[in-house]
Structure 1
Amino acid sequence: MLEQLKTFSDNSLAIEVIDGFSETDESLCQKWFNEKTDQGHSHVNMLIKLDEIKLSKSSTKAFFEDTVFTLRHLKSMGNLAIVGHSNILKALVPIDNFFFTRMSNGFEERYFDKSQLNKALQFITESN
C-alpha cells in the first residue's frame, strides 16, 4: 500500500510504502510524479519511506515497472531521500547514488534512518 506522508504545492513528493508494493501502487506513484511535472516543475524531489515494506508482499512486476519508469524519467528526478531502518538499504544507497548523481544533473540520493524523517523532509524541500 502506498500513501503520501505529506502533500506539497511545490516540486516535492513524500510517500510511504506500507506492507507490500503492488502494480496499483506503482501506477499511483507515477500519477503523483506526473502531476508534479505537469504543473511545470522541471524536476521532482522525492522522499520514499520504506521502513514498513514487506518484500514478501511486494510485486516483482511493480518493482520492474518502477525501475523502467525511473530510468525513463531520470532527467526529471531531483533529490531523492530514502528513509528506512535497514543496514542493507543504508549500504546500497551510496552505491546507487554513484550512478544517480552521474545521470541526474547534480542531484543526489541520500539514506536517512526513520528517526531522521524531519531531516529527510528538509532535504527534499530545501533543494527546490
Structure 2
Amino acid sequence: MTLTSRATAVAAGALALALTGPGLSAHAAGTNWKSLVTFEGAKIQACKVPTTATGPWKVKLRIDATKATTRVQGAGYVMKGNKTTDSWKSAWVTRGHYSGVGTVKLPRGAQYTLNAGLGGGQSGDGGSFVAKQVPHC
C-alpha cells in the first residue's frame, strides 16, 4: 500500500467512525425533539408518533448529554392519576453523548400525563407534561 492510499484509507476509516459513532446515532434521525427538562447541561427530550387515529401516542425519549457537565440518567413515566401505566429508564449517559431512544405509550386523554426527569449522582430535576406539549416526531 502506498503512502497516499494508506492516508486515504485512514481518512475514510476516521470519517466512517465519525459518522457512525454513538453520539450521532440517536441524533441523526432528523426527529423533531423537544427538550422537556434540563439538568447539569443535559436534556431529556421527547417527540410523539400516533399509533392509530384513536389509540395511544408512542412517545420517543432520549437523553442529550452533549453539553452536560457530568454523567446523567433519565426516565419517563406515563401516569393515570397515581398509577404508572408505562415507563422507560435510560442507562447512565456520559457527558458528550446521547442515550439510546426509548419509548412509552401515552394514551390520549387529559387524565394521562408523561412525567420526565433527569438525575445525577446526588440530585435531579423533572416535570409533568400532557400530550399536546410534546411535538410530533
TM-score by length of 2: 0.27
Question: Which has the larger Rg?
Answer: 2
Higher fraction of strand: 2
**Taking structure 1 as the reference length, what is the TM-score of the superposition?**
0.28
Query: More helix by proportion, 1 or 2?
Result: 1
